[in-house]
Structure 1
Amino acid sequence: MASLTIRNLSSVPLELKHIQRFEGQAAPKPGGIANLTSTITGIFNATHTPTGGVTPRGDHPIEKRDVNGVTVQPFTTHSTDIRAADPTREVLRLTFQQPGTDHRYEVDAPGPSPRSLVLRHVSGGNAPHEFTAVYIPNGAHLAIYSSANLSRWMGELADGFPLSALSIPGTHNSPTCHVALPSVRCQAVGVREQLDNGVRFMDIRVSANPFGKGNDEDSELALVHSAFPISLTGVKRFSDLLKEVYAFLERNPSETVLMSIKREGTGKGTDGDLSRHLATDRYLGADGSGRRWFTEPRIPTLGEARGKIVLVRRFGLDDDLKRRLHGGQGWGIDGSSWPDNCEDKPTGSGLIRVQDFYEVDQSTNIEKKIQLARAQLERAGQTRFPASSTPNAKPPPLFVNFLSASNFFNANCWPEKIAAKVNPAVIEYLCIRHGEHGKGPNGLDVGDASTGIVVTDWVGNDGDWDLIRCIVGWNARLQLKK
């Protein structure tokens, strides 16, 4: 068996103090209340676990010993001489201590389910930190993150960082969780549940009618995916989606949501019509509806954006609005010249850099998609950001990285099937290779190791938020900047 590698992706050093090795047995599959519990406290995302989880057989270890000299500093990797557990026959129990304190934490590798786990605080009293572990048996690799409160994770970060400095999880065709054609549905859960579990970038497609008919129904923007409605049980409205986002931000004012809006569907309206609809008080209002929207044509800091929706505009502007808004400079972060089906290109404004390769023609082509996603993560991670206190520093662009792809004519390439392959591969990359010098697809140097905006399909399926948690976890590195 391979030796265990430990990667500390948290904001504090951790010292391995003790190991115990147990004979293992297959863990029972949870159901009912047990299944609900596992979605909250389940253990280890094991990308290649063949049979699921493993639990110790009995309370008596077959090996136990103290460990000396294994202190893993924040955002470093330590290769040990400890033999990793046979993932189907053994459980390795590791006890870590936060140096300079009496606080100890315990975790099993592998564990009773293929999910991440909050480490057990075993030294009594209140734990000063909370940690989440992800174990990859295929590489005998344990990654430890600083746990985040996913509903309010931005509250841990300084106001001065531009949004492009953050590692931001997003969803593709965010509201497509309803009963729909399999090629149309991209999400397992609704918008509010996504937000409560850390998603902060929303990809919204709307169908627009010509502006100015004076009919309330004609002024409603319908949510669509390409030419199709997102639900077979009735039209879903953009205005109702906004109510959900507003309610989330009112409850969590430390957060912001970047919202990409694009015109699709069968409506007869133009981009200009869409912009005029959105500029009414029914939606954004020309001034961004005051406290609810940030619509300046630039990348804001987190402090400027807290409690607001940041407009990412994937549509052209009506000429009159273009002249009136923000002194003729524009409206929102301009993504109107969006590169189509691209591997890595900037938008026309230069404020966004996109990986959005989506045309997969066969299941084997999914590997190309995985490599392109990894390469965009590497490019985002190469960027260096000024400290949050640096005044008037020009922010780098938003790196937007779509993990989604599909082929309407191939059931093996519908969104759910692709996500089942791409999402675990990206989790593994984030745990093992992201932010390691020279270990990305193109061997680039590492800057501040942001992931950029990672836009996903089918997160939250059966309570699995591990990909979102791994993306959010990389923001701990910003907390180390002075």
Structure 2
Amino acid sequence: MASVHDDAETKLAEISTGTAGGPAGGPAGGPTDLPPAMTRPASTEADLRPTLSQAASFAPLRAEPREGVGRRLLRGRAKSAELLTSDEWMYYLSDSTSIGRISIPGTHESCARYGKGNIFVPCQTLDVADQLDRGCRFLDIRCRVVGSGSDMSFAIHHGAYYQNIMFGDVQQKCADFLYSHPSEFILMRVKQEYSNESDETFRKIFNNRYLRSYYYTDGDIPTVGRARGKIVLLGDVAGLGGINYGGPDLVIQDDYGNSDPSVKFDEIWAQANASVVYRQPGDDRLYVNYVSANDPPWIAPDGYADLIQPPLYDAIWGNIEQWRTVGQLGVMPLDFFDSDDGWNEGLISGIVYWNYNW
């Protein structure tokens, strides 16, 4: 599993200090063809830290919805607003484009909605069907093996907590969505959680009980045309099939336990720069950039989302006009994806609209 954080951070440091080649640093300072990095919003480290009272009380940090640059741009783009809908936003993607060259919003711990009072368990408010309807195209599915013999199946868990849904139900919601929206595809990470069955047992259950023709199980990164109407399997169990989640075709940033939200934001933005700015021709790997994190016992997932997502909203919409013709953001899984109050609606649409230069 590759990481680009160190390399991207080095390049960003070169740019900011003027040691890189080109106009800022000159030929002696390094490579002369290094492009500028995407900018990030001006914020201090304190902006991404909870106050003592917030940390102590786990008070919700949710900001009031605001009409930022994203909504202003959307209001000025009547054609785009009419053509693109959240349930069929992939319709205008070229069939020949690699799915590694797309900006895709997704969810981390996609089914984690129930914590029985433990605020560190829920990561979403919407169920899978609503997530898909609102633009999500990457699902993070964690499966516990339950039952015995021929009755063995997958229950969806977040750690020890059963999420009141079975894998077959998740699969059916995805199949129903794809049947109604054949222009779309869904990336699905499948991982074993809270059970210790062998990889062989897990594979047999999946193949015998769940595998259907609408799964894409080849090991290569497909084009959009090959993926349409499919669940593109990202196997996080050895030998499960599909694209190997821990393999060389994925570049993953998933620092989920960082105690400093400002550092986590820097990691997210370094990965975004690696995908958009520094990616080499022919590099069609999937860049997966988790926006999610938590910091027990101080910041629960919803609080972390409240700290990280507003500046990310500003960063994406602040760079979209200049950089979306250069490269794509990759996959960005979020906690509390497009919650019922719509507070991060502009972030989701920003990731989606990055694909189109209208």
Coarse TM-score class (shorter-chain normalised): 0.7 to 0.9
Residue of structure 2 in register with 1:169 after alignment: 105
* Partner Cα distance (1:295, 1:316) in 2: 13
Task: Tell me how far 1:228 sits from its aligned partner.
Answer: 2.6
Alignment match, 2:242: 332
For residues 299-319 of structure 1, give each alpha carbon's deviation from its aligned partner in whole angstroms, at most 9, with x where no partner exists.
00010010010000111127x
Retained in 2: the 8 A contact 1:296–1:333?
A: yes
Is the Cα contact below 8 Å between 1:239 and 1:283 reproduced in 2? yes
Between the aligned partners of 2:144 and 2:160, the Cα distance in structure 1 is 9
Q: Deviations over 1:18-46 (max 9, x none)?
A: xxxxxxxxxxxxxxxxxxxxxxxxxxxxx
Higher relative contact order (CA 8 A, sep 6+): 2
The count of residues paired between Structure 1 and Structure 2 equals 294
User: 1:454 and 2:332 equivalent?
Assistant: yes
2:242 is aligned with what amino acid?
Answer: G
Please identify the structure whose Cα radius of gyration is greater: 1
User: 403, 409, 412: which one pairs with 2:297?
Assistant: 409
**1:200 paired residue number:** 137
Counterparts of 1:400 and 1:115, CA distance in 2: 25
Structure 1 pair 52/297, CA: closer, same or farther in 2 (3 Å)? Answer: closer
Please say if 1:396 is aligned against 2:291.
no
**Between the two proteins, what is the percent identity of the paired residues?**
30
Q: Unpaired segments of 5 or more residues in structure 1?
A: 1-49, 54-108, 122-126, 132-145, 319-330, 338-348, 387-393, 438-445
2:318 matches 1:432: yes
TM-score (norm 1): 0.56
Do the aligned partners of 2:101 and 2:327 also contact (CA within 8 Å) in 1?
no
**Secondary structure class of the residue paired with 1:476:** coil
Cα RMSD, aligned residues only: 2.9
**Structure 1 residue aligned with 2:203, among 255, 261, 275?**
275
Counterpart residue number, 2:348 = 468
Find the counterpart in structure 2 of residue 248 from structure 1: 177
Shift of 1:260: 0.4
SS at match of 1:421: helix
CA-CA distance at 1:120 after TM superposition: 6.9
1:260 pairs with 2:155: no
Deviation, 1:147, is: 6.6
Aligned positions of 1:147-186 closer than 5 A: 148-178=84-114, 180=116, 181-186=118-123
Deviation of residue 277 (structure 1)? 0.9
What's the secondary structure of 2:347's corresponding residue? Answer: helix
Residue of structure 2 in register with 1:226 after alignment: 159
Partners of 2:92 and 2:325 in 1: CA distance: 21
CA apart distance, 1:460: 1.7
TM-score by length of 2: 0.75
Is 1:376 equivalent to 2:271 in the alignment?
Answer: yes
Instruction: Indicate if the aligned counterparts of 1:119 and 1:130 stay in contact, CA closer than 8 A.
Output: no
User: Runs in 1 of length 4+ with deviation above 4 angstroms?
Assistant: 50-53, 114-118, 383-386, 434-437
CA 1:51/1:247 → structure 2, altered by over 3 Å: closer, same or farther? closer
- How far does residue 130 in structure 1 lie from its aligned partner after superposition? 3.5
- C-alpha separation between the residues in 2 aligned to 1:197 and 1:208? 30
Residue 85 of structure 1 corresponds to: none
Q: Residue 352 of structure 2: SS of its match in structure 1?
A: helix
Rounded to whole Å, the distance in 1 between the matches of 2:305 and 2:279 is 30
Report the residue type matching 1:220 in the other structure.
S
Q: Which SS does the other structure have where 1:472 is aligned?
A: helix
CA distance in 1, matches of 2:76, 2:95: 32
- Cα distance 1:189–1:226, how it changes in 2: closer, same or farther (>3 A)? same
Give the distance between the partners of 1:172 and 1:417, measured in 2 at CA: 15
**Shift, 1:179, TM fit:** 5.5
More helix by share: 2
Separation in structure 1 between the aligned mates of residue 65 and residue 218 of structure 2, nearest angstrom? 48
Counterpart code for 1:463:
G
Question: Is the 2:255–2:264 contact (alpha carbons within 8 Å) kept by the matching residues of 1?
Answer: yes
